[in-house]
Amino acid sequence: MPRYALLLEYDGGPFAGWQTQIDLPSVQDAVEAALARLEPDVPRIAAAGRTDAGVHATGQVAHCDMVRDWSPFRLSEALNYHLKPAPVAVVGAARVADDWHARFSATERRYVFRIVARRAPLVLEAGRVWQVKTQLDAASMQAGADHLLGKHDFTTFRAALCQARSPVKTLDELRVEEVQRGDGGQEIRLHVRARSFLHNQVRSFAGTLERVGSGAWSPQDVKSALEARDRARCGPVAPPQGLYLAGVGYPAPVF
């Protein structure tokens, strides 16, 4: 059976997450339903990351096995036709080796978390960013973020129900970017990169660094929280709507 990699973009708002759940809409269900319109009995698909309810993606990667030898362009066009009106799009498709796996072949995942500081309610970006009321100190946030880089026990930033075998992970990048906006507000983007993540790790980082940016925490408090290895020492977990799975890396380019 030919195997294909799919590059996916989706609005996570209407979904209970990537993974299939009983009686709840999922992104996986939407993609598999579109595949079933092309071929019956398509095997279950696998994704690089199981995003939570409300989390978006601009660079999710999944793979599927087909019976027919589709051209990647025709496969993506057909899937996009059958995905409507779900807010999911196939923005790229590629034929891959039979043993290639969207999750297990990945060498890194990249996330972006968006925070917008503005007094007025957001209309066009509602549900797609985390809105806060007061401006944030990006330099202080970066100083706090620097304490999290490298290999650490991230128990403090790990959800209680996380199923990972170990809380030890290596964080390759946590960069704070301040973006100028034309509406008088301020946007902070956190760029986060690692081979793999713990459950709620990025949202825990975002909530903690927001506390630093607001002045409620010092950058040194982030270091102390990390070293405590205690979930109770984490800042508030940021809401899901600001989080985007922005890309997945592989040993060789796929798309």
Question: Which CATH number fits the domain that encloses residue 196?
Answer: 3.30.70.660
Q: What is the mean pLDDT of the chain?
A: 96
pLDDT digits (tens, 9 = 90+) for 107-127: 999 999 999 999 999 999 999
For residue 78, give every residue at least 6 positions away whose Cβ sits within 8 Å of its Cβ, in sequence order, or none: 37, 38, 70
| 118 and 203 share one domain | yes
> Residue 154 pLDDT > 90, yes or no?
yes
Quickly state the pLDDT bin for 44 (edges 50, 70, 90).
very high
For residue 246, give every residue at least 6 positions away whose Cβ sits within 8 Å of its Cβ, in sequence order, or none: 57, 58, 59, 110, 111, 112, 191
Give the residue-averaged pLDDT of 38-46. 93
Give the residue-averaged pLDDT of 100-113. 98
Q: Among residues 11, 52, 153, 183, which one is catalytic? A: 52
| 197 and 80 share one domain | no
pLDDT digits (tens, 9 = 90+) for 202-239: 999 999 999 999 999 999 999 999 999 999 999 999 99
Nearest to 57 by CA among 97, 37, 30, 21: 30
106, two tokens: 């990945």
What span, in angstroms and rounded, lies between the C-alpha atoms of 198 and 92? 27
Percent of the chain having pLDDT more than 90? 94
Domain stop point among 52, 75, 105: 105
Give the residue-averaged pLDDT of 33-54. 95
pTM of the model: 0.96
User: What letter would DSSP give residue 44?
Assistant: P
Q: What are phi and psi of 105, to 5 degrees?
A: -85, -10
What span, in angstroms and rounded, lies between the C-alpha atoms of 27 and 88? 8
The reported pLDDT for the residue numbered 39 is: 94
The reported pLDDT for the residue numbered 2 is: 95
Tally of domains within the chain: 2
Range of the domain at 94: 3-105
Domain stop point among 79, 105, 131: 105
Angle at Cα 156 formed by Cα 52 and Cα 196, nearest 5°? 50
The reported pLDDT for the residue numbered 163 is: 82
Q: Is residue 253 part of a domain?
A: no
Quickly state the pLDDT bin for 161 (edges 50, 70, 90).
confident
Q: What is the 3-state secondary structure (H, E, C) of 149-205?
A: CEEEECHHHCCCCCCCCCCEEEEEEEEEEEEECCCCCEEEEEEEEECCCCCCHHHHH
The reported pLDDT for the residue numbered 126 is: 95
Instruction: Give alpha helix (H) positions in the chain.
Output: 27-38, 72-83, 138-146, 201-214, 219-228
Domain stop point among 47, 75, 105: 105
The reported pLDDT for the residue numbered 34 is: 98
Quickly state the pLDDT bin for 180 (edges 50, 70, 90).
confident
| Residue 98 appears among annotated catalytic residues | no
> Residue 244 pLDDT > 90, yes or no?
yes
